[in-house]
Amino acid sequence: MELKKIFWKVPLFCIAAGVIAFYVEVFLMIRFVIVKLPDGTIKTDNTRELIIYGSIFIVTLIVGGMIFFRNMTRKEIFFSASIIVAIGLIMDLTQWAFNLTTGPGAVFFIYASQIFEWSSIVPQLFHRVNENLWFASVIGSLTPYLFIPFGKKEQV
């Protein structure tokens, strides 16, 4: 397989999975997470939300690892995943350095962060444990490396 095609497999898969996951999450959240109480008020069920995020994460890992990346070596997956990880870390660093939490910059990053929507359970769980949003976001950017164990071992 041509080297250029191999290195873009993980980033393209992550982008596609992120966009699909976003729309699936919106659909499922509206159907199952938003709860209308008997008095007419509306609340969200955090447990159902985490189940949805976790299910999407596991399905994406299994589909990516067992279908899309099964013919790649672990080394190839590492280098391919490093492209999307670098993009995520640059996005995190840019948001942190310029404090882009409001305004047009924040809106841009809301849309740009869709590429990591498939793995949004990871930063959410880290944020709940650690309370440091930036640390959780950086850990979330590293999730494409979780495809590495699905790769083939190097053949000597």
User: In whole numbers, what is the pLDDT of the chain averaged over residues?
Assistant: 88
Are 44 and 51 in contact by the 8 Å Cβ rule? The answer is: no
For the stretch 40-98, pLDDT in tens is 898 888 899 999 999 999 999 999 999 999 889 999 999 999 999 999 999 988 888 87
Q: Pseudo-torsion of CA 137, 106, 96, 84, nearest 10°?
A: 50
Q: What pTM did the predictor assign?
A: 0.86
- Per DSSP, 151 falls in state S
Phi, psi of 142 (to 5 degrees): -85, -5
Q: Match 């790769």 to its residue by tokens.
A: 151
In DSSP terms, 73 is beta-bridged to: 152
DSSP letters, 17-43, are HHHHHHHHHHHHIIIIIEEE-TTS-EE
For the stretch 89-140, pLDDT in tens is 999 888 888 776 777 878 888 888 888 999 999 998 988 887 788 888 889 9
CA 77 to chain centre: 16
- 4 has a pLDDT exceeding 70: no
Rounded distance, CA 136 to CA 110, Å?
A: 16
